[in-house]
A and B are shown apart, each in its own frame.
Chain A
Amino acid sequence: MADQNRDGFTLQYQAVSDKREIILQVKDLTVEYVTDDEVAKAVNHVSFELRSGSTLGLVGETGAGKTTIAKAVLGVLPDVSARICGGEILFNGSDLLELSEMEMQKIRGNQISMIFQDPMTALNPTMKIGDQIKEAIMLHEKLSHAEGEKRAVDMLEMVGIPGERYSDYPHQFSGGMKQRVVIAIALACKPQLLIADEPTTALDVTIQAQVLDMMMKLKMELGTSVIMITHDLGIIAETCDYVAVIYSGEVVECGTSEDIFDYASHPYTVGLFASLPSRSGKGERLKPIKGMMPDPADLPEGCPFAERCPCPEKQCFSTKPEYLHLSDTHIVKCCKRWERQ
């Protein structure tokens, strides 16, 4: 079943049975952060696809490049330091990297929008929350101010905040409520693609479930496709159809949720699952993955995970691994010739 793919990134891994059209296709995306004395390779030849109406999880530890990928798709990388060195981001067939800033402004918040990690800082502290939602609507739709206001009230109520709170300011809301406002802003123009960058990380556990449930309900209602960025495998299991495991700016394993959860093959993915606390092993120590992710400014020659791999081979330190197809939907980037057990 294993079939090695030699050219690395032209991947046709998704289920043949999934007939939904591809809405977003990221091909060979490479992003660097340039500072005075070093170049950090944050995203290295990342490719993935997202089908309309589905949810793709990007999972990986902090600093793996997940947020950079998301910001690159939306075109909101900091223009001073970040540099997109190559690749294509095809959204509905057109390359977003080729579009002008003006054209991108029409897409942002309208067809693609994003929910940010920290609701505490994602809202403008001196602007009424209703106006912040209204702003997103007015930018993309020709409405009178009264209509825009009404739509903003509707959005507030849709995310479970009473419309009377339109004129309140962010500091009058709790973290969970703020995240609802952020979600309302993101969904205000019914986007085709929603990028959720760790939408629940900054919230406490009781609120996390509420916010996730709400997001998923709205996603179903609006038919939005979602990229869910998280380091929480539980959230992935609950919400995602497809999963891409990101390590050191690369997709190291990718497949349907079943592929990843039942047949995890890359030693990093295996390590991620092993490091979760288990319900049965009471009192056992957690099994962390030893070591640190390589410095993006100084990437190793071979496999970026070789240093931390429990079973590395000689070639792992010298040659970059290539993608290996384990099934129609499941690929892994590892030198070993894995078989799905």
Chain B
Amino acid sequence: MAKYILKRVLWLIVIVLAVSVVIFSLMFIIDGDPARSILSVNASQEDIDALRDKLGLNDPYWVQLVRFLKQTFLEFDIGTSYRTRKPVLTEIFERIGYTLTIASVSTFVATVLGIYLGVVAATNQYSWKDNTAIFLSLFCVSMPEFWFALMLVSIFALQLGWLPPLGIDSWKSYILPCISCLVGGTANIARQTRSSMLGEIRQDYITTAKAKGQTKEKIITRHALKNSLIPVITVIGSLFGTQLGGSVVVEQIFSIPGVGSYMMTAIGFRDYPAVRGGVLVIAICFSAVILLIDIVYVLVDPRFSERYNNQ
């Protein structure tokens, strides 16, 4: 197991390296000039050229790439933002708290709610409860996040005035963004739980548990649920991973100064170090979450431990 984790950590390094090259190349290819963004529209061509030289932007692709990789992976320096002239890492750490809070809260609530709904649907297959759950989850999965977020703002913030429409002032400000983030996830988790639970409750070991004299509720909670969790954990993990990158749309709509909105601004400004730094942090977080999922698999299903050891 330890060997497996070590192997995965080594892989993580490779992945992060690959992501860095890709994001560097993408930023190199796309149109736009950071020097012009920095100096404002009226700057003279000479000033712009001088700044480009200073930033090293006139060097060929390979030189820039190698310099970037060397700085990042050997000197562990992601760089300073062109726009704010502050170290990118400091800026990301200032903002990641908001993103982490929203991601954790919405993933947690989506997990609890989604699994509960999925279990209720599966154990009452074809009843009204099941049909309602299926319809609702289909609706929530298909519904665009931005539309739902705008609806929430218009109803609960603007019309009813219960909750603040934007910014982060108190815990109340987190409610609407979290709800917008968790609806789709809840629906996904519920659908996955339902289908995998339906597969499990037809298994022979369920009949064995019944033959022992176990009650229906305990058969579901002690036997079927744990076995149906593997695919659900995958969904939860990727949900959390995605949200760690900051739900860009939601952060924009609610003006939350999280990682997502930071990246959005950075891309618009052609703030190369900020974009690269942001993507790197997200890639590392995402890989870490995936590794965490793999470890959770073993806790849930002991057969995975053997599978890992044999690899």
| A residues adjacent to B (C-beta < 8 A) | 71, 74, 76, 80, 104-110, 113-114, 116, 118, 121-127, 132, 135-136, 139-140, 169, 171, 182, 185-186
A71 surroundings in chain B (CB, below 8 A): 207
Is B209 in contact with chain A by the CB < 8 A criterion? yes
Q: Encode B117-149 as 1/0 by CB contact (under 8 A) with A.
A: 000000001000000000000000000000000
Complex Cα spacing A186 to B213, Å: 11
B86 is an interface residue with CB less than 8 A from chain A: no
Once bound together, how far apart are the Cα atoms of A126 and B205, in whole Å?
A: 11
Q: Does B208 contact A (CB under 8 A)?
A: yes
If A122-B204, A125-B301, A171-B302 touch, whether A76 touches B213 (CB-CB below 8 Å) is: no
Contact code string B207-238 (vs A, CB < 8 Å = 1, else 0): 11111111100000011001100000000000
Assess the A105–B204 pair: CB atoms within 8 A.
no
Within 8 A of A (CB), among B180-217: 203-205, 207-215
Looking at the assembled complex, report how far the CB atom of B27 sits from the nearest CB atom of chain A, in whole angstroms: 46
Per the bound structure, the CA–CA distance linking A281 and B205 in Å amounts to: 43
Residue in B closest to A139 when the chains form the complex, CB atoms: B213
Q: Which 5 A-B pairs have the closest CB atoms?
A: A109-B212, A109-B213, A108-B213, A121-B204, A136-B212
Per the bound structure, the CA–CA distance linking A182 and B212 in Å amounts to 11
A116-B208, A140-B213 known; A169-B303 Cβ under 8 A: yes
B side interface size, CB within 8 A? 22
A122 and B227 contact, CB distance less than 8 A: no
Q: By the criterion CB–CB under 8 Å, are B214 and A105 in contact?
A: yes
Chain B residues contacting A186 (CB-CB under 8 Å) are: 211
Cα A126 to Cα B203 in complex, Å, equals 13
Q: Which residue of B lies closest to A110 (CB)?
A: B213
Interface status of B300 (Cβ within 8 A of chain A) = yes
A182: chain B residues within 8 A (beta carbon): 208
Hey, which chain B residues are within 8 Å of A125, CB to CB?
205, 227, 301-303
CB distance from A307 to the nearest CB of B (A): 33
Could you say which of B125, B227, B306 contacts A124, with CB atoms under 8 Å apart? B227
A-B contact pairs, 9 of them (CB 8 A): A105-B215, A114-B211, A116-B211, A121-B204, A122-B208, A125-B205, A126-B227, A127-B222, A127-B223
Contact indicator A107/B227 (Cβ below 8 Å): no
Q: Which of B203, B208, B301, B303 has the most CB of A within 10 A?
A: B208
- If A125-B301, A126-B301, A171-B303 touch, whether A135 touches B204 (CB-CB below 8 Å) is no
Q: Complex Cα distance A113/B211, Å?
A: 6
- The DSSP consensus for interface residues of chain B is helix
**Complexed CA–CA distance, A105 and B215 (Å):** 7
Per-residue contact bits, chain B 294-306, to A (CB 8 Å; 1 contact, 0 not): 0000001111001
Pairwise interchain contact B306-A116, C-beta atoms closer than 8 A: no
Q: Please, which residue of chain B has its CB at the minimum distance from the CB of A119? A: B204
In whole Å, how far is B83's beta carbon from the nearest beta carbon of chain A? 51
Complex Cα–Cα for A113 and B208 (A) = 9
Closest residue to A137 on the B side, CB-wise? B212
B210 touches A108 (CB 8 A): yes
User: Within 8 Å CB of A80, what residues of B?
Assistant: 125
Residues of B within 8 A of A126 (CB): 226-227, 300-303
Q: Report the separation of the CA atoms of residues A132 and B203 in the bound assembly, to the nearest whole angstrom.
A: 16
A185 & B212 in contact (Cβ 8 Å cutoff) = yes
Q: Using CB atoms, name the residue of chain A closest to B215.
A: A105
Contacting residues, chain A, for B203 (C-beta < 8 A): 121
**A114–B205 CA distance with the chains assembled, in angstroms:** 12
Asked if residues B302 and A106 are in contact (CB atoms below 8 Å), the reply is: no
A135 touches B226 (CB 8 A): no
* Alpha-carbon separation in the docked complex, A76 to B206 (Å): 10
Please measure, in the bound complex, the distance between the C-alpha atom of A47 and the C-alpha atom of B204, giving whole angstroms.
Answer: 27
- Complex Cα distance, B213 from A110, in Å, reads 8
The reply to whether A108 and B303 form a contact with Cβ atoms under 8 Å apart is: no
Asked whether, in the complex, the Cβ of A109 is within 8 Å of the Cβ of B211, the reply is yes
A112 nearest CB neighbor, chain B only: B211
| A116-B204 in contact (CB<8A) | yes
The answer to whether B212 touches A135 (Cβ under 8 A) is: yes
Q: Which residues of A contact B207 (CB under 8 A)?
A: 71, 76, 116, 122
User: Nearest Cβ distance between residue A240 and chain B, in whole angstroms?
Assistant: 22
The residue on A at minimum CB distance from B125 is A80
- State the CA gap A78–B211 with chains docked (Å): 12
A136: contacting residue among B213, B301, B302, B303, CB under 8 A? B213
15 extra A-B contacts, CB within 8 A, seeds A116-B207, A123-B205, A127-B222: A104-B213, A105-B214, A108-B213, A113-B211, A116-B204, A118-B204, A122-B208, A124-B205, A126-B301, A126-B302, A135-B222, A139-B212, A139-B213, A140-B213, A182-B208
- In the bound assembly, the distance between CA atoms of A114 and B208 in angstroms comes to 8
Residue in chain B with minimal CB distance to A75: B210
CB contacts (< 8 Å) of B125 on chain A: these are: 80
Residues of chain B within 8 A (CB-CB) of A118 are 204
Name the CB-closest residue of B to A123. B205
Rounded to whole angstroms, the CA-CA distance of A114 and B209 in the bound complex is 11
Contact with A along B254-293 (1 / 0, CB 8 A): 0000000000000000000000000000000000000000
